[in-house]
Amino acid sequence: MTRSPRVLVTGSLGQLGTTMVETLRAKFGNENVVASDIKKPAPEKRATGPFVYADVLNYRALEQVVVDYGIDWVVHFSAILSAAGERNPALALNVNVNGFQNVLELAKNHGLRLLSPSTMGAFGPTTPKDATPDLTIMRPNTIYGISKVHMELLGEYYTEKYGVDFRSLRYPGIISADSPPGGGTTDYAVDIFHAALKDNRYACFLKHDTRLPMAYIDDCIVGTMQLLEAPQEALTQRVYNVHACDFSPEELAAEIRRMHSPDFAIEYRPDFRQAIADTWPRTMADTAARNDWGWNPIFGTTDIVRTMLDKLGPTYASVNSSPPAPADAPAVIAQQV
């Protein structure tokens, strides 16, 4: 393609969509990246380029965006994550299965490249937990995992049968200071920083020794861009594991104590999310992603902790030094903690 591709991002106001839209716009130009969601964006998000209302459950509405804007590539972030999915399986099935089928049909009918992320949640209790390979037992027991295995297989089927350029990567937990996660089992690894800076204590919904694969958002976005832009001939498979680092809540808390406050207190109150985390890998093997399109994360656990504290620290320093709010006023960053 001699000109910049025109890219549609679904779920653009979520944790990943927010940063991905900024990155795509910096690379391809603001006007070439159409952000979409079913929520209303803050004025500053609307200011940087086109934003459209697009419900992934409505094929015709999506198609109109593709035609009106001359879309070439779709990055499909709309999904209900693991914990939210267990709370509302019918919604998760609808959004994750029917929403994906709509964008896949769109890709087939309009010759689009489609990147739709998968997750370590596509693995299940019978999957080998350490250095989990790309190809292994996949019998997840969450609705999120089931819908993502369906997505992977359907994407591969459309590639084989119709030549659709479908690409996917299995994300670990993603940690970001810029936009909050929503409804995942790995959300504790973001919440803990807000709680540490605000209250110097945190009640964790996973057990102390629950080791899970994680990545910092910058690595995640760089990797997603690499896969999105990789030449077709470089891809030896359609779905890739990506792993950056792994830690447990007690290891994360120890790093926060070391770098922020020796008094930081954590208590463990496992809830229904523990049963989800217990079925996921501890580490994933990602050699194919490294070899085929250059996956090369640079943030380890210590880098993530340092970066999160540096980025969020100033916000909480000003909140903590403000005069106390009246008892009935909402807390400034209440939704984050």
Q: Would you tell me which residues interact with ligand AKB (CB under 6 A)? A: 81-82, 119-121, 144, 171, 173, 184-186
Between residues 144 and 295, which has the closer beta carbon with respect to ligand AKB?
144
Give the nearest distance from C-beta 124 to ligand AKB in angstroms: 13
Give the nearest distance from C-beta 123 to ligand AKB in angstroms: 10
Between residues 102 and 210, which has the closer beta carbon with respect to ligand AKB?
210
Q: How far apart are CA 182 and CA 187, in angstroms?
A: 7
Give the nearest distance from C-beta 173 to ligand AKB in angstroms: 5
Give the nearest distance from C-beta 3 to ligand AKB in angstroms: 34
Between residues 32 and 132, which has the closer beta carbon with respect to ligand AKB?
132
SS3 per-residue string spanning the chain: CCCCCCEEEECCCCHHHHHHHHHHHHHHCHHHEEEEECCCCCHHHHHCCCEEECCCCCHHHHHHHHHHHCCCEEEECCCCCHHHHHHCHHHHHHHHHHHHHHHHHHHHHHCCEEECCEEHHHCCCCCCCCCECCCCCCCCCCHHHHHHHHHHHHHHHHHHHHCCEEEEEEECEEECCCCCCCCCCCCHHHHHHHHHHHHCEEEECCCCCCCEEEEEHHHHHHHHHHHHHCCHHHCCCCEEECCCEEECHHHHHHHHHHHCCCCCEEEECCCHHHHHHCCCCCCECCHHHHHHHCCCCCCCHHHHHHHHHHHHHHHHHHHHHCCCCCCCCCCCCHHHC
Between residues 71 and 220, which has the closer beta carbon with respect to ligand AKB?
220
Between residues 120 and 308, which has the closer beta carbon with respect to ligand AKB?
120
Q: Say whether 202 is catalytic.
A: no
Give the nearest distance from C-beta 19 to ligand AKB in angstroms: 15
Question: CA triplet 24, 123, 205: central angle to 5 degrees?
Answer: 85
The residue with its CB nearest to ligand AKB is 184
The single residue of 53, 59, 69, 144 carrying the catalytic annotation is 144
The tokens for 229 are: 């832009």
Give the nearest distance from C-beta 241 to ligand AKB in angstroms: 12
Give the nearest distance from C-beta 213 to ligand AKB in angstroms: 8
Q: How far apart are CA 23 and CA 12, in angstroms?
A: 12
Instruction: Note whether 37 and 53 are within 8 A (CB).
Output: yes
171: Cβ–Cβ under 8 A, 6 or more apart, which residues? 117, 118, 119, 120, 215, 220, 242
Catalytic residue ranges: 144
